[in-house]
Amino acid sequence: MLQIKNISKYYGNNVIFKDISFDVKKGEVVSIVGPSGSGKSTLLKCLNRLENYDSGKILLNNTDIKDMKITELRQKIGLVFQEYNLFEHLTVLENLTIGLIKILHFSKEEAERKAITMLRKVGLDEKKYNYPDELSGGQQQRVAIIRTVLMKPQIILLDEPTSALDKEMKKEVLKLIDEMVKDDMTLIIVSHEEEFVKKISDRIFKMKNHTLKEIRYEKTKAI
């Protein structure tokens, strides 16, 4: 489904990563770990062209992502950041429906129906008229994730979705991601939650020394 072929990325003269290649199949969960500053976020941003890469190719269903319209690409590859995902001036419900209405052209009623069904699933329907700053960090992140899920992208990228959260809030978000895995979504996750990553991933890669290496791991061993 997604093929990353020999991509390299520089910021000025600084090499961030070099010659990275890997494939992601439909329904696979691939995790990326590695030290801070190693380029994990930059790699995810390259996948939906929030950042440009300097060489190599990225193919989605055999089409070079540079030949796709940005809006089409971002509809097919959704990215959830660590924090600051929601529009602060919109209610939870408006945050969830804006993309469905403006990009996927659902009617307001239909978009709201879908959004509310999803909110019920994650136990947040009573928050639909609240603004993001009236929600806990974990609740906000769950809204951000289901907003991306509602758009039905082919692949969802999650960049440290729990690192800004305390222990209890983390649990709620990890539970939601676990359900996404069970729903056979195709995910690329950057996370420091070793135990969780080992539990849900089909493959784990480590970003280090400007390159990505697949890690062989056993459930009981630390990475």
Residue entry with tokens 């403006």 = 102
Minimum CB separation of residue 83 from Mg ion in Å reads 11
* CA pair distance 156, 150, nearest whole angstrom: 11
Q: Per DSSP, what are the bridge partners of residue 211? A: 208
Residues in the chain, overall count: 223
> Residue 111 Cβ, how far from Mg ion at the closest point, in Å?
31
Task: Tell me: does residue 161 bind ligand ATP (CB under 6 A).
Answer: no
Q: How far is the CB of 42 from Mg ion (least distance, A)?
A: 8
> What are the φ/ψ torsions at residue 37 (nearest 5 degrees)?
85, 5
42, interface contact from ligand ATP, Mg ion, none, CB < 5-8 Å by kind: ligand ATP
Helix axes 137-150, 167-182, angle to 10 degrees: 20
Rounded to a whole number of angstroms, the minimum distance from the CB of residue 40 to ligand ATP is 4
CA-closest candidate to residue 162, choices 152, 154, 172, 153:
172
Applying the rule CB under 6 A, the residues between 15 and 44 that interact with ligand ATP are 16, 34, 36-42
Chain positions contacting Mg ion, by CB under 5 A: 41
Between 51 and 110, whose beta carbon lies closer to ligand ATP?
A: 51
Task: Tell me how far apart the alpha carbons of residues 203 and 213 are, in angstroms, rounded to a whole number.
Answer: 11
Q: Which does 11 bind (CB under 5 to 8 A by kind): Mg ion, ligand ATP, none?
A: ligand ATP
Q: Which residues bind ligand ATP (CB under 6 A)?
A: 11, 16, 34, 36-42
